[in-house]
Amino acid sequence: MSAEVVLGLDAVLTIDGAEIKNVKDLTVNLEKAEADASTRANNGWRATVGTLKDASIEFTVLNKNGDTSFGMLQGLWSSGTPCDVGISDAGGALTLTCEVMNFNVNQNLEEVVSADVTLKPTQSSSGGGMNVGSGSGA
């Protein structure tokens, strides 16, 4: 019998098509800005519609011998090069073209050296992210 829940350890993070397994506690934050669409026809209720979407992907990566994820992410932060990011679990998938906005290294005395990483959608003329225009004016 299979579990009735989806476990975080079964989720997948890919960057530029390569699976990144050296990840702890990944969080996807999805938000929308709001615009006031209130009119007299709303019977005294404020009406709100969503406008621009915002996302951030936050996780911790360990600095492990033989694993290139730590250095690759630090290099992407340093260069500002956009990367295609995919996140999937049993509930679906999200693909975005992102830039590494934060790469904060943690050197706690009784912990493994790690980095807290934040990815955010960015402009890109290439890539398969859903934030990249399709060329049809969409």
Q: What does the pLDDT read at residue 132? A: 43
Q: What does the pLDDT read at residue 133? A: 37
Q: What does the pLDDT read at residue 9? A: 86
Amino acid at 128: G
Band of residue 2 on the pLDDT scale cut at 50, 70, 90: low
Q: What is d(CA 88, CA 126) in angstroms, rounded to the nearest whole number?
A: 21
Q: What residue spans define the domains of the chain?
A: 8-32+49-121
Q: For the sheet containing 92-106, what is the strand order? A: 18-19, 12-15, 83-89, 92-106, 114-121, 48-62, 23-36
Please state which CATH class domain 8-32+49-121 belongs to: mainly beta
Model pTM? 0.82
